[in-house]
Structures are given as structure tokens and as C-alpha cells.
């Protein structure tokens, strides 16, 4: 359960102040599949960074599972990112020196999960995305679609509150895109909460709920209540 209230983020570019987010309020409930749609510069990336605890808002309140995130220390934010959020990036962002298994294992290592349990969970996550036969391949030995599936496995291995996917199909061909979207659907149907950030309306239409954002404001929301 995520609650955003009147979130503002202001960047200073030269003498001008740019309101990247200008009073955004949003509730994300457990087991939702939301697409946040907007053009480049609409503020959707800033929103994603704030939801993902990579960045902090200048104003407003943000609660995740009842915890107020806005006053957290770097350490606490690290714990939130590690345990409550699973990231899927446009550029996959896998570590090139590690193989698929080690990439998926990394968040569990940082969490301090012990060896045997870790092995089990990594294997399960890779099986979930259908890569159990590629566990010792490095990213450069995998296709784009496979790399993104490793990234999905890495996002879901910690059993996060929220899977945050930023243009997950932006670097993929149409077939791999379909595979990834099908995977996200399956994950949603199995009870995960997914927030998909995209500029692509076709992709967005696959979500259960669509939030449109423009100039730092939510302009429409098919599911929630806009204040």
C-alpha cells in the first residue's frame, strides 16, 4: 500500500525553477497493475524515482506500508529499496561481470539472506521467468529479452511490495516486448503489485489502471480518486 500526497519536486535550471512534479497525489493498493503514462518531460520519471526511493520529494508526504519515507536516512531508504521495491529498467542494468544467477542473487546478499535459502530463492526466481537453463550465462551472452527477464527475476526475488518497471520494453523488439508484458501480467495475476512507467499508449492499455501525467500533474486516472 503506497500513499503519495501533494508531492512536489522542483529543479533549478539556470535561473529558472522547473516544477517536475507539481502536487501529485496517488494511492497504489496491493495487487494493482498501474501504468503511469506521459510524454518525455511530463514528470513521470521523477515520479518513478520518488516512488522507488531513489530520490526524495521537496514537499509532500509519501508513505509505503504505513512508513513515512520523506524523513528517512540514506540507510533506511536503502533498506526500503532492497526489501519493498523491485526495479526493472529500460537498459536492464545488469552487472556485466556477473552471470544471471549472481545478478539475481545480489539483492539477497545485500539483505543478508543465508546461503542455502538464497540459492533456493534465486533458482525459483529464474525458473519463474523461464531462464533456469541459462543461469550461468553472462548478460553479454544473453539476448535483450533474456536480459530483461533476468532483471525481472532480480526484481521479484526479494518478494517486494512493488515492482517498478521503467519503460521495460523500450529497448526490446516486438516479440520480446510481448514476452515481457505477458510475464508482468502473470506476475500481477499471481498477486504482485506492478507500476509500469511508459510513454507508449499500447503498452499502457495492457494495465488494469492508467494514470496519465503531464507537466508534473496527474490529468486522468482510470481507477483512483483524483483530489
Partner 1 sequence: MKIGQAVKMAISSIRSNKMRSFLTMLGIIIGVMSVVLLVSLVQGATGSITSELDSLGGNQLTVSIVNPDTTLTLKEVNSLEDKEEIIRVAAYNSGSGTAKAEGNSSDVSITGITENYTDFTELNLLSGRSILEIDNEYRLNVCVIGNSVAMDLFGNTNVVGSKIRLSGKDYLIVGVLEEQGASMLNSTDTTIYIPFTNAQRLLYSTGVSSFYVASDAETLDAAEEVLDTYLLEKTGDSDYFSIINMASIQDTINTVLNTMQMLLAGIAGISLVVGGIGIMNIMLVSVTERTKEIGVRKAIGAQKRDIVVQFMIESVTLSLMGGIIGMVLSIGILSLVTALLEGYTFSVSFSVAAIALGFSIAVGLIFGIYPANKAAKLKPIDALRHE
Residue 158 Cβ vs partner 1, minimum distance, rounded to whole Å: 8
Phi and psi (nearest 5°) for 88? -125, 120
Cβ atoms of 50 and 224 within 8 Å: the answer is no
* Shortest distance, position 146 Cβ to partner 1, whole Å: 18
| Residue (15 or 74) nearer to partner 1, CB | 74
Q: Is the Cβ of residue 140 or residue 174 nearer to partner 1 in the bound state?
A: 140
The grid coordinates listed for 134 are 541459462
- CB 110, min distance to partner 1, A: 4
Length of the chain: 227
Sheet containing 16-28: give its strands across.
Answer: 16-28, 2-13, 59-64, 67-68
Q: What is the dihedral of CA 92, 95, 98, 100, to 10 degrees?
A: -10
Output the smallest distance, CB 32 to partner 1, in A: 22
Q: Which is nearer to partner 1, 12 or 74 (CB)?
A: 74
Nearest approach in angstroms of CB 223 to partner 1 is 27
Find the shortest distance in angstroms from Cβ 47 to partner 1.
13
Which C-beta is closer to partner 1: that of 6 or that of 56?
56
Contact set with partner 1 (CB under 8 A): 49, 52, 54-55, 74-75, 78-79, 81-83, 87, 89, 93-95, 97-98, 106-107, 109-112, 154, 158
- Close Cβ partners of 80 (under 8 Å, ≥ 6 residues apart): 53, 64, 67, 69, 72
CB atoms within 10 A of CB 99: 19
Nearest residue (CB) to partner 1, 54 versus 219: 54
Please, which residue, 138 or 199, has the CB nearer to partner 1? Answer: 138
For residue 125, report the phi and psi dihedrals to the nearest 5 degrees: -65, -40
Cell (9 digits) for 206: 495492457
Strands 162-166 and 85-88 come out as parallel
Going by C-beta distance under 8 Å and a sequence separation of 6 or more, which residues neighbour residue 154?
A: 86, 94, 103, 104, 106, 107, 125
Amino acid at each position: 500500500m503506497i500513499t503519495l500526497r501533494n508531492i512536489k519536486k522542483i529543479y533549478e535550471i539556470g535561473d529558472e525553477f522547473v516544477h517536475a512534479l507539481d502536487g501529485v497525489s496517488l494511492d497504489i493498493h496491493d495487487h494493482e497493475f498501474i501504468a503511469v503514462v506521459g510524454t518525455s518531460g511530463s514528470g513521470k520519471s521523477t515520479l518513478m524515482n520518488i516512488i522507488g526511493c531513489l530520490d526524495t520529494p521537496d514537499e509532500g508526504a509519501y508513505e509505503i506500508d504505513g512508513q513515512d519515507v520523506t524523513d528517512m536516512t540514506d540507510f533506511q531508504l536503502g533498506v526500503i529499496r532492497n526489501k519493498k521495491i523491485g526495479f526493472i529498467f529500460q537498459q536492464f542494468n545488469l552487472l556485466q561481470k556477473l552471470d544471471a544467477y549472481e545478478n539475481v542473487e545480489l539483492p539477497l546478499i545485500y539483505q543478508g539472506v543465508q546461503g542455502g535459502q538464497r540459492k533456493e530463492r534465486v533458482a525459483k526466481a529464474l525458473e519463474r521467468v523461464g531462464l533456469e537453463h541459462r543461469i550461468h550465462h553472462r548478460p553479454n551472452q544473453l539476448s535483450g529479452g533474456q536480459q530483461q527477464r533476468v532483471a525481472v527475476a532480480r526484481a521479484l526475488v526479494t518478494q517486494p511490495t512493488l515492482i517498478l518497471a521503467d519503460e521495460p520494453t523500450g529497448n526490446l523488439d516486438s516479440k520480446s516486448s510481448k514476452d515481457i508484458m505477458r510475464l508482468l501480467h502473470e506476475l500481477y495475476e499471481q498477486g504482485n503489485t506492478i507500476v509500469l512507467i511508459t510513454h507508449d499508449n499500447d503498452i499502457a492499455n495492457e494495465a488494469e489502471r492508467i494514470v496519465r501525467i503531464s507537466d508534473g500533474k496527474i490529468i486522468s486516472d482510470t481507477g483512483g480518486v483524483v483530489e
